[in-house]
Amino acid sequence: MTTSPTRILGNILYWVVLAIAFIFFMFPLVWMLITSIKVRADVTSLPPTFIPWLQFNPTTINYLAVFTRVSEAGTVVASSQANTELSKFPEQLANSVIICGIATIAAVLLGTLAAYAFSRFRIPGEGDLLFFILSTRMMPAIVVLIPIFLMFSLAGLRETYLGITLLYITFGLPFVVWMMKGFLDEIPKEYEEAAMLDGYSRLEAIIRIVLPETLPAMLATAVFVLITAWNEFVFVIILNPSKATTVPPFLYGIIGYGQVEWGRMAATSVVFLLPVVIFTFLVRNHLLRGVTFGAVRR
């Protein structure tokens, strides 16, 4: 059986387009990684260099500067001249992991339970309520910055872990409710009804039957909620400028008022990306299942 020239040409075009798309999306990350192992002279050299050991000598000084104060007047210096006092980055990275992790888990669990209620029960004005929940995602978050700032100031939630965590949970809930309702609608109600006929309570049926079935969808949703909270900048720099601060303001602080330390900024960005990349890698199998969730039909 011979393959037609049209089919061969189509396969070639498919792989060419796929390769171009891969290069387009991966090039900024590769550039950031390469920049993180360059000294300033190599970062600003023209034409730019890309191949370590052949075109430039790689260095780890930028990564050392991420975790320690390996700087002098805002400039990364040789390690022999460096002050090895710990920087604020490890603390702020831990803050990001704690705050965003708790916010993601809470938003996914609470949003899934709310979505279950919308999916399984007849709620008066359900369409209006769902639209109201969705409408909170329509406006830019910056619009509510002043009211939230005033509320947090009056309630004593500024500069606290609790305040910024509650805020991230609030921002993540609408997305979770809408995503999980679509997934839960695809699970037949008969599963829970059969479990309750066997003596399970409604809550036990949810825990033992529904949650295991929706786990791939919950993990897929959690990835997007985590990324949104992980990258949030404006609210944390306004509400928590000095305590319970996450990494994005630290990245902004590297710019400073003098010459930008591009190597140190790139190294900080690489380390900042690692927790999200690791989490996404660990749940990669569930991501595909979450996207194709609902294959079981009544």
Q: Answer yes or no: do 186 and 243 share one domain.
A: yes
pLDDT band at 281 (very low <50, low <70, confident <90, very high): confident
- Quick check: 141 pLDDT over 50? yes
For residue 51, give the 3-state DSSP assignment: coil
Q: Answer yes or no: do 99 and 119 share one domain.
A: yes
Domain assignment present for 296: no
Q: Answer yes or no: do 56 and 35 share one domain.
A: yes
Find how far residue 55's CA is from the centre of its chain.
34
Structure tokens at 103: 């916010």
pLDDT tens digits along 92-133? 999 999 999 999 999 999 999 999 888 888 888 878 888 888
Cα 213–Cα 217–Cα 222 angle in degrees, nearest 5: 130
Q: Answer yes or no: do 144 and 276 share one domain.
A: yes
The answer to whether the beta carbons of residues 57 and 43 sit under 8 Å apart is no
Cβ neighbors of 61 (< 8 A, separation 6 or more) are 39, 70, 76, 78, 79, 263
For residue 73, give the 3-state DSSP assignment: coil
CATH number of the domain that 266 lies in? 1.10.3720.10
The answer to whether the beta carbons of residues 229 and 99 sit under 8 Å apart is yes
The answer to whether the beta carbons of residues 36 and 63 sit under 8 Å apart is yes
- Quick check: 293 pLDDT over 90? no
What per-residue confidence (pLDDT) applies to 80? 47
Helix spans in 185-261 (H): 190-197, 202-205, 211-231, 234-239, 247-255
What per-residue confidence (pLDDT) applies to 297? 46
Overall average pLDDT of the 29-49 stretch:
85
Helix spans in 36-88 (H): 40-43, 61-67
Domain assignment present for 277: yes
What per-residue confidence (pLDDT) applies to 288? 65
Domain total for the chain? 2
The answer to whether the beta carbons of residues 96 and 246 sit under 8 Å apart is yes
Using a cut of 0.75, tell me whether the model's pTM lies above it.
Answer: yes
Domain end marker among 25, 56, 81: 81
The chain-wide mean pLDDT, for the chain, equals 83
- Most confident by average pLDDT, 123-127, 180-184, 254-258: 180-184
Q: Answer yes or no: do 67 and 108 share one domain.
A: no
Domain end marker among 81, 101, 129: 81
Structure tokens at 48: 């730019």
Helix spans in 49-88 (H): 61-67
What per-residue confidence (pLDDT) applies to 11? 84
**What distance in Å separates the CA atoms of residue 284 and residue 162, rounded to the nearest whole number?**
30
